[in-house]
Amino acid sequence: MPRVLALAQTNCTVGDIKGNTRQIMALAVRARDVLGAGAVIFPELCLCGYPPEDLLLRPEFLDDVEQALDTICQQIQGIDLVIGYPRRKAGRLYNAAGVIHDGEIIAEYFKTELPNYSVFDEKRYFSPGDQACVVEVAGIPVGLSVCEDIWYTGPARKAAEVGARLILNLNASPYQAGKGREREQVVAQRARETGLPVVYVNLVGGQDELVFDGGSFCMNGQGSMCQRSRFFGEALDVLLLDDHGVPLEAEIAQCPDEESMVYAALVLGVRDYVRKAGFQGVVLGLSGGIDSALTLAIAVDALGAEQVEVVLMPSRYTADMSNEDALEQARRMGVKHSIIPIEPAFQAFLKMLEEEFAGQPMDVTEENIQARCRGIILMAISNKSGRMLLTTGNKSEMSVGYATLYGDMAGGFAPLKDVFKSLVYRLARWRNRNGEVIPERVIIRPPSAELRPEQQDTDSLPPYDILDEILRRYVEEDQGIREIIAAGFDQATVQRITRMVDINEYKRRQAPPGVKVTRRAYGRDRRYPIVNGYH
């Protein structure tokens, strides 16, 4: 008879230990009673959520984790559970994977390789383990490992040397473009090195700027895929093993294309941020431009049209086509919408500042006042309605400071914060593939902030295909100015753009969080000093 493992690809909430415990127990019961599984495997730190950050410094938080483990041990029998949690031991804290069998924890493994790069900061909290752990799970000797361990040869090799027939790897691996393929290649390499199958169980769901994409899978001992769970959704999937722990072929979920993956990450990130934070939907300014149009589509797909409100706030410089296109998209997507012109507020501010500004020409100051008028309106609606305000700026704009503090940057969450402008256009086309929700004119017209007569983005910036490639090299790849120029880019343009990136760190520090989708996102992924004399 084949052995049945259940892979629990769960969406937990950081800090909601009671809620996570209920979810774990419900899935364990379903795996036992409905799927006939002998064991259920959960992701890394699923009991407390990932990343718990400085909650781990609170003794009462760790007390609650221990109480939750006791509850699971008392209430779940007849199925083995492999779960992740923080464990205090001998004055140290470990990132642990434990096996619960018939009411007791029979084995614990402590994560060996602690990531301390990009968005990870585990050495701040955890001590590394140094021992392999092989334990019978559903009658099969398995070696336990946690996330980063599988990226190194040592942990899997040690488990193989002490008798493991299968490696279980518990993960909280966040999404970034191309990461899924990289994970699978690494795990396939570990499987071939050891000759052991590897079961990789990943978290799913949004947590602040991170989105965990799921995509749990199993590689056989030859490094070939034999099972894959869905991406960006919860799953409780069955994996069958023979008596020797060899996995049998199972369903392999499709790996979507890049635009599909990025869009799904943005939708899941918005949905979980809004719902887990307890907001009553969202509100955003809809300008008739591509960024707010895509943000609206993401919001509706994440939350439903009834949870989304848009506000058109035309100024003296707003083109008729902008209002027309914004209204058309609002109607197509079935969202509540209103029109609040900003001219009365703009005139009031100009009158208030008339004496202060006497004799000085109009410049970016007046442009920023318009953006801040809109910010006040949107924040007022957010406060009154309980809806979170979504900002609509993209990564290209945030990189060079083409955004107004306390204006279009005002808000609670920024879905496109890590999406370059060129990708915004690709995602808009992708979203329209099965029916046009974003009006075609929004996509094809030249982009403009519409804060002065006949304004276009190219008045201040190079074309976005050039700008985005310079930014990608400078921000994500850490290439130097000379290296970028040597790649064929104009010297003056490179120097101007990189200077704009450097001097606008102060703005990015005050920006709301947004979904990470690239290798190097702004925020905890890229930490530069605000006052910085290196240029």
Instruction: Please tell me the chain's helix, strand, coil percentages from 3-state DSSP, rounded to the nearest 5.
Output: 40, 20, 40
Which positions ≥6 away from 292 have C-beta within 8 Å? Answer: 284, 285, 286, 326, 392
Are the beta carbons of 352 and 379 closer than 8 angstroms? no
Bridge partners (DSSP) listed for residue 308: 282
Q: Which amino acid is it at 108?
A: E
Is 216 part of any known ligand binding site?
no
529 upstream amide cis, omega within 30 of 0: no
Catalytic option among 111, 395, 417, 421: 111
In b/e form, how buried is each residue of 49-84, taking b as 16+ CB within 10 angstroms? bbbbbebbeeeebbebbeebbebbbeebeebbbbbb
Is 285 part of any known ligand binding site?
yes
Is 338 part of any known ligand binding site?
no
C-alpha separations of 379 from 109, 309, 391 in Å: 48, 13, 11
Is 292 part of any known ligand binding site?
yes
> Can you give the length of the chain in residues?
535
Parallel, antiparallel or unpaired: strands 198-202 and 217-219: antiparallel
C-alpha separations of 26 from 10, 195, 305, 321, 339 in Å: 11, 34, 31, 53, 47
C-alpha to C-alpha distance for 421 and 432, rounded to whole angstroms: 17
The DSSP element (H or E) to which 53 belongs, if any, is none
Q: Where are the alpha helices (DSSP H) in 313-450?
A: 320-333, 343-352, 364-385, 395-400, 421-431, 440-444
Is 210 part of any known ligand binding site?
no
Are the beta carbons of 156 and 198 closer than 8 angstroms? yes
End-to-end CA distance of the chain: 66
Residue 343 annotated in active site = no
Query: How buried is 301 (Cβ within 10 angstroms: 0-12 exposed, 13-18 middle, 19+ buried)?
Result: buried
C-alpha to C-alpha distance for 228 and 259, rounded to whole angstroms: 20
Is 289 part of any known ligand binding site?
yes
Catalytic option among 12, 46, 48, 147: 147
Catalytic option among 44, 108, 209, 367: 44
Residue 44 annotated in active site = yes
Is 399 part of any known ligand binding site?
no
Is 534 part of any known ligand binding site?
no
Is 516 part of any known ligand binding site?
no
Is 507 part of any known ligand binding site?
yes
Is 272 part of any known ligand binding site?
no
Q: Which long-range contacts (CB under 8 A, 24 or more apart) does 247-250 make?
A: 247/166, 247/197, 247/199, 247/218, 247/220, 248/2, 250/218, 250/226
C-alpha to C-alpha distance for 269 and 274, rounded to whole angstroms: 9
Is 304 part of any known ligand binding site?
no
Is 315 part of any known ligand binding site?
no
Short-list 243, 175, 190, CA closest to 220: 190
Residue 147 annotated in active site = yes
The DSSP element (H or E) to which 338 belongs, if any, is strand 336-339
Is 286 part of any known ligand binding site?
yes
Q: Phi and psi dihedrals of 392, rounded to 5?
A: -120, 5
Is 407 part of any known ligand binding site?
no
Which residues make up each annotated binding site for deamido-NAD(+)?
A: 368, 397, 507
Which residues make up each annotated binding site for L-glutamine?
A: 117, 173, 179
Residues noted as catalytic: 44, 111, 147
Which residues make up each annotated binding site for ATP?
A: 285-292, 392
Which residues make up each annotated binding site?
A: 117, 173, 179, 285-292, 368, 392, 397, 507
